[in-house]
Amino acid sequence: MRILMCNTFYYLRGGSERCTFDLTALLEANGHEVIPFAMHHERNLPSPYADYFVSHVDFPTLLRESKGIGAKLQVAERTIYSREAKTKIAALIEATKPDIAHVHGIAHEISPSIFSALRAAKIPIVQTLHDYKVVCPNTNFVSQGAVCEACKGQRFYNVMRRRCKRDSLAASVLAGVEAYAHQIMGIYAKNIDAYIAPSRFLRDKVIEHGIRNEVVFLPNFLHVDTFAPCHEADPYFVYAGRLVDVKGVRTLLAAMRTVKGAKLYIAGTGELEEELRAMIAAHEMANVELLGHLDKEALTKLVRRANATIVPSEWYENCPMSVLESFACGTPVIGARIGGIPELVQDQHSGLLFTAGNATELAAAMQCAIDQPAAMVAMGQAARRQVERDHNPATHYAQTTALYASVLARR
């Protein structure tokens, strides 16, 4: 089968790209041909199809620097319905004759205009949802640092009223106009043959917010055999992720102030880094260390011996790869009871759960983990078995190709 794989970025930038590259490798290992379609970027991996990629654009900078109505209309055109993307993908379709398109994150830089070209060529479209963009103009159900569902019922004007997009009126107006335009055009409803939701929570949430296309639950997968479990429970915790509001790092630090006999290592960077350093200094938290960005090898080594990793998110996480990777290391997870996290972290079995944003509950869970290392080792062993069973490549491949076959059979 020849599969057209569409994602804005063609380098390892985040979770969407990780899933895209892993799926590409899995399909190719099973004899399929995968053709990428993306945006030009200096960090892109080499590709024989790069000439078909859309031109690079940096929207935050463009919006900030665009002067006058004409410049802003150019930004809107690229975001809402990029003629360049439609033309480029039509040429790629003509050159490669794909059987099916698998779309990941294409909002803004590429835009859903590519669906029109795919539909004109009678190519079925499957899209993996890595966020909530199809129902939330701000993509993640977050406004001003807190969970928000004010746009439910297609009330997209709320994104402008609340300035949800980067607290910018211009960016929020564009996001609202984009959402209304796509709704009026039926750009998703008329073109997507099936969605893939990596968590049941995401599937149920987009259906609740009005998606009527088929939505199939298919969790992310992991090559578990590349991780060697340690099954130790040294007296420290690890947080690995971005240092931003919705990740719950402030709550984590507040909890850590009362935990005895443990250290916390924070691996990651982000806009809250200086604020966190100030909090650590102000409260003399010698048991907390900010490590900055760690490469995969260093992070895995750290996680393997941890008592637990902490996922204190305060937004609707989907199917976090950080949880799966911790499980693969044989390390249980202390996770917030929000979004797709409770689907992965089975309380008292593969980890511990606490109410999102509740530092007291989190501290109690962390103290319990430190006080009972043998129980945490047992949970880590259960976590490893869980990820081997539920997130293996063979099952993911079989379910993905079965969906492809189902979609193709309808044409």
Q: What is the pLDDT of residue 15?
A: 82
Domains 2-134+188-221+392-409 and 224-390 share a fold: yes
Backbone angles phi, psi at 197, to 5 degrees: -110, 120
Q: What is the pLDDT of residue 14?
A: 83
Q: What is the pLDDT of residue 66?
A: 66
Q: What is the pLDDT of residue 170?
A: 85
Instruction: Assign residue 348 a region (left: φ > 0; alpha: ψ between -120 and 50; beta: otherwise).
Output: left
Beta strands in 218-349 (DSSP E): 234-240, 263-267, 288-292, 306-311, 333-336
Which of the four CATH numbers 3.90.1150.10, 2.60.120.560, 3.40.50.2000, 3.40.50.300 does domain 224-390 have?
3.40.50.2000
Helices 393-409, 15-29: crossing angle, 10 deg rounding: 80
Long-range contacts, 299-305 (Cβ 8 Å, 24+) = 299/238, 299/240, 299/267, 300/227, 300/325, 300/329, 302/238, 302/265, 302/267, 303/238, 303/240, 303/329, 303/331, 304/228, 304/229, 304/230, 304/232, 304/329, 304/330, 304/331, 305/230, 305/232, 305/234, 305/236
Tokens of 216: 């199939």
Whole-model pTM: value is: 0.94
Segment-wise mean pLDDT, segments of 10 residues, the chain, 411 residues: 98 90 98 99 97 90 67 79 98 99 96 97 98 97 95 97 92 94 96 98 98 98 94 95 94 98 97 97 97 95 98 97 97 98 98 98 99 98 98 98 97 76
Fold classification of 2-134+188-221+392-409 is Rossmann fold (3.40.50)
CA distance 39 to 44: 9
Q: Could you please report the per-residue DSSP string of 68-111?
A: HHHHHHHHHHHHH--HHHHHHHHHHHHHH--SEEEE---TTTT-
Domain boundaries along the sequence of the chain: 2-134+188-221+392-409, 224-390
Q: What is the pLDDT of residue 260?
A: 98
DSSP strand pairing (288-292 vs 263-267) = parallel
Assess contact for 383 and 332: CB atoms under 8 A. Answer: yes
Beta bridge partners of 309: 238, 333
- Residue whose C-alpha is closest to residue 125's, from 45, 189, 33, 73: 189
CA distance 184 to 179: 9
